Amino acid sequence: MSLNADEIWQQFIQKYPTAKNTPHHAWSFGGGSEAADIESMRVVAGMKQATTTLAALYEHDKQTLPVPNHDYEILFDGSVHAVAILQYVAVQEMPFDHVTAEHAYLEDGISLSIWQTSHRARLQAQAETIGQSFTDQTPVVALTFKVVYLPTSL
C-alpha cells in the first residue's frame, strides 16, 4: 500500500498529536524518478542524513528556509508515494566551498573532494534553471535531517 502526503501526515499526528499544527512540506529528491527512488531508499535505510541545494532556489521559489527541530518534511519516492517524515536538525547557508567533509559524508557517504565534483555539476544545473551562474563561492544550503516517522505500510 502506498500513501500520499495527507495519509502519512494523518498517521504521524495520530502518533504525535502535538505536531498537528506544525509547518510541513512535501518533496522528493531531484534528478528524475529513479534518482528519487534511490535517494529516498537511502534515507529510509539511514544511509543519507543530509542534502544540499542552491540557496537562490529558496528565494526563486518564494520559500523560507526550514526551521531546525521544528518544521517537518514529507519525503516522496520517485512515484510520489510518501516514504518518511523528516525533521531538519541543522540548516546552514554557506558558500559551496565551505561545505564540510562531515556534511558530504552524511549526504552521500563519500569524501569531500568527490562530493564537490559530483555536486558542482548538479548545482550548476540548478543555477542555470533560474538564470544564475555558479562558482565555488555561490551560496548553498546544507541541510542535515533525521527520520522521525516511517509509515506503517512500509
Question: What radius of gyration, in Å, describes the C-alpha atoms of the chain?
Answer: 16
pTM of the full structure: 0.91
For residue 154, pLDDT beyond 70: no
Domains and CATH numbers, the chain: 5-12+25-149 (3.10.400.10)
Cα 26–Cα 124–Cα 55 angle in degrees, nearest 5: 50
Measured in degrees and rounded to the nearest 5, phi and psi for residue 87 equal -135, 130
Cell numbers of 20, please?
A: 498537528
Segment 106-131 mean pLDDT: 95
Segment 65-84 mean pLDDT: 95
Q: Are 5 and 115 in contact (CB under 8 A)?
A: no
For residue 2, pLDDT beyond 90: no
| Of 31 and 76, more confident | 76
In 10 A of CB 98, how many CB atoms? 14
Q: Are strands 82-95 and 139-149 parallel, antiparallel or unpaired?
A: antiparallel
Average pLDDT score, the chain: 94
Segment 134-154 mean pLDDT: 92
For residue 76, pLDDT beyond 80: yes
**DSSP collapsed to 3 states, 67-121:** CCCCCEEEEECCCCCEEEEEEEEEEEEEEHHHCCHHHHHHHHCCCHHHHHHHHHH
Place of cell 559551496: 96
Q: Are 50 and 143 in contact (CB under 8 A)?
A: yes
